[in-house]
Amino acid sequence: MTASGCVTVHGELEVVPGATRSEAAKALSDFTTAYNAADKAYDPDLDADRVTGALGAINQAGLKARQKNHPDGNPDHSPLELTDARYLIPKKAGWPRWFLADTDSNRDQDHGKLDTRWLLVFVKSGPGAGWKVSYLSVVATAQLPAFAKDGDGGARPVAADSAELAVAPKDLSTQYTQYLQKGTPDVFAPGTATSGWREERRTTRRAGFSYQYIDQPLDSGAFGPLGLETEDGGALVFFSSKHFERQTAAKGLRPPLNPDVEALLSGEVKSTLTKERVSGELVYVPKKGSSKDGGKVAVLNRLPGLTAAKGS
């Protein structure tokens, strides 16, 4: 019994680190083992209890499609190795709890010329639940900002409704999808996942086909935003979004299907094919009033994945 008369059960009321270092290391090891087993067998059941949120939707749909197309497993499987792990563990009260694993991988592109870090967000929904990865982002090492620390050397979490940032984390998914649809609000820095993606959609042309795009926020439950404060008062934030691409063919034509789309298809493709994708974004959000990057949100990585397809 505390002085205020509140009872702390399993740490629900006490502000404590989300995990111990050893617990975080075990969670990373368990995830890597399950991820590799699932990738080798193309079996979504083998890592279903290790993923959730945006990564879970992308991972499970992708494995389902590849299992259908390659029932004997992955002939090109190469085990993922995650090393040199640094754990950023924020304190919080209640559940869910979470932490970030900043790791090196054996998947650097360009034969090691571009050094990248794999950032994995682990979440735990309750005292009896297991750790699951909700976000995965691959970022060039040079793009990673320095993180702020609390008095005990731990990471500092950012509140979803923070008024100290250029955009509150809870608003990122809505503002991003509105920007993709309309070009406003103009809070995102130019880049391949912002202005470049809008331009790519605008200029997509194929004789006999028309294209429509719908973007929707995805910001509740396991898809909610999670962020850590940076030394300059900004934040590194993970958030989710959903995107639809509809292809409509002129009379006598039919939208093309690749094997992965066909594996996730419902309905029959006669003249229309709608693809549904989920994305996990990693952004740097400057503090309110900052002149850095024009005070705009910079998208550092976007991980998209096909999750469903429908024909009509």
**pLDDT tens digits for range 179-217:** 999 999 999 999 999 999 999 999 998 899 999 999 999
The pLDDT assigned to 292 comes to 79
Contact 85, 32 (CB under 8 A): no
Cα gap 8→41, rounded to integer Å: 44
Residue 265 token pair = 């298809």
The predicted model gives 21-44 an average pLDDT of 98
pLDDT of residue 3: 34
pTM: predicted TM-score of the whole model, two decimal places: 0.93
What domains lie within the chain, and their CATH numbers?
A: 1-144 (3.10.450), 157-312 (no CATH)
Average pLDDT, the chain: 93
pLDDT of 265 > 60? The answer is: yes
Cα(11)–Cα(95) distance, integer angstroms: 9
Q: What is the rounded distance in angstroms from the CA atom of residue 167 to the CA atom of residue 235?
A: 10
89-116 pLDDT tens trace: 999 999 999 999 999 999 876 555 678 9
How far apart are alpha carbons 230 and 266 in whole angstroms?
44
> Which DSSP letter does residue 188 get?
B
Query: Is the distance from CB of 47 to CB of 56 less than 8 angstroms?
Result: no
Q: 208: which 2 tokens?
A: 């006999």
Percentage of the chain with pLDDT > 90? 87
DSSP string, 204-238: --BTTEEEEEEEEEE-SGGGS-EEEEBTTS-EEEE
119-159 confidence digits (pLDDT tens): 999 999 999 999 999 999 999 999 999 999 998 889 999 99
- Interatomic CA distance for residues 204 and 218, integer angstroms: 25
